[in-house]
């Protein structure tokens, strides 16, 4: 689903950016069906009609956002799993994940929303499950290099832990001790602790 050059230029246009940002925020907050074109227009401070100069439909706004989400995800992935010693990779992956959520919880929120209601956008499930699988495989690779038994399950658990912590954070952004949990997780997956983990049968 790569966009044409044309479309990409549009994406950089101020108005269409504003539409996308507004839509992203509202879709994440109130859901796709709970957000009207009017809402988006109001949030972006433009007229309803103008939206249709940039997008064919409400659905296609979502598709554009989705594509963007994907690009971002891929960048992070590339960035994270650049070759390295596996201990370092793990630390970096955790740090990046937290950074990503802290900086833009909205993105993450929208993704979970879409995953939970896959009828909205057919591509969602396939594309994101593919993405997850890829990430899982890389994590498995890391755990294997480190020499941890049961690498696939450990990957599932780490993956779950990260996303679960984020979920709880989204549920209560003011009350959640995100920073301290991050530190704790980094320690849990530090070189020293992993060495011990290896020795557990």
Partner DNA sequence: CATGAATGAGGTTTCATTCAT
Partner DNA sequence: GATGAATGAAACCTCATTCAT
Is the distance from CB of 35 to CB of 26 less than 8 angstroms? yes
Does 132 participate in binding a copy of itself (rule CB under 8 A)?
yes
Is the distance from CB of 10 to CB of 54 less than 8 angstroms? yes
Hey, which residues between 108 and 137 contact DNA (CB under 7 A)?
none
**CB pairs under 8 A, 24+ apart, for 114-119?**
114/32, 114/66, 117/31, 117/32
Min dist. Cβ of residue 68 to DNA (A): 19
In whole angstroms, give the CA distance from residue 156 to residue 170.
21
Site string for a copy of itself, 35-54 (x = CB under 8 A): ------------x-------
Hey, which residues between 138 and 167 contact a copy of itself (CB under 8 A)?
150, 152-154, 156-157, 159-167
Residue 173 contact among a copy of itself, DNA, none, beta carbon within 5 to 8 Å by kind: none
Tell which one of 22, 23, 27, 35 touches DNA (CB under 7 A).
35
Helices (H), the chain: 5-12, 14-30, 37-44, 48-54, 58-80, 86-103, 105-116, 123-146, 151-171, 178-188, 191-199
Tell which one of 19, 90, 107, 109 touches a copy of itself (CB under 8 A).
109
Residue whose C-alpha is closest to residue 64's, from 17, 14, 101:
17
Binding residues for DNA, rule CB under 7 A, total: 27
Residue (16 or 109) nearer to a copy of itself, CB: 109
CA distance from start to end of the chain: 45
Binding stretches for a copy of itself (CB under 8 A) = 2, 29-34, 47, 109, 112-113, 115-117, 119-120, 125, 128-129, 132, 150, 152-154, 156-157, 159-168, 170-172, 175-177, 180-181, 184-185, 188, 193, 196, 200
Binding stretches for DNA (CB under 7 A) = 1-3, 7-8, 11-15, 35-38, 46-54, 56-59
């Amino acid at each position: 689903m790569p966009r044409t050059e044309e479309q990409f230029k549009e994406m950089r246009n101020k108005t269409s950016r504003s539409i996308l940002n507004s839509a992203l925020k509202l879709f994440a907050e109130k859901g796709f069906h709970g957000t009207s074109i009017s809402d988006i227009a109001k949030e972006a401070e433009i007229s309803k009609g103008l939206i249709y100069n940039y997008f064919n439909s409400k659905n296609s706004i979502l598709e554009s956002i989705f594509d963007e989400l994907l690009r971002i995800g891929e960048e992070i992935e590339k960035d994270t799993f650049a070759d390295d010693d596996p201990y370092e990779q793990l630390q970096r992956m955790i740090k990046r994940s937290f950074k990503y959520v802290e900086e833009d919880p909205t993105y993450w929120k929208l993704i979970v929303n879409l995953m939970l209601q896959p009828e909205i956008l057919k591509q969602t499930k396939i594309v994101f499950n593919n993405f997850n699988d890829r990430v899982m495989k890389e994590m498995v690779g890391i755990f294997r290099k480190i020499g941890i038994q049961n690498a696939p399950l450990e990957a599932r658990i780490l993956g779950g832990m990260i996303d679960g912590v984020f979920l709880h954070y989204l549920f209560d952004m003011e009350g959640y001790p995100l920073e301290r949990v991050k530190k704790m997780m980094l320690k849990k997956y530090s070189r020293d602790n992993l060495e011990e983990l290896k020795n557990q049968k």
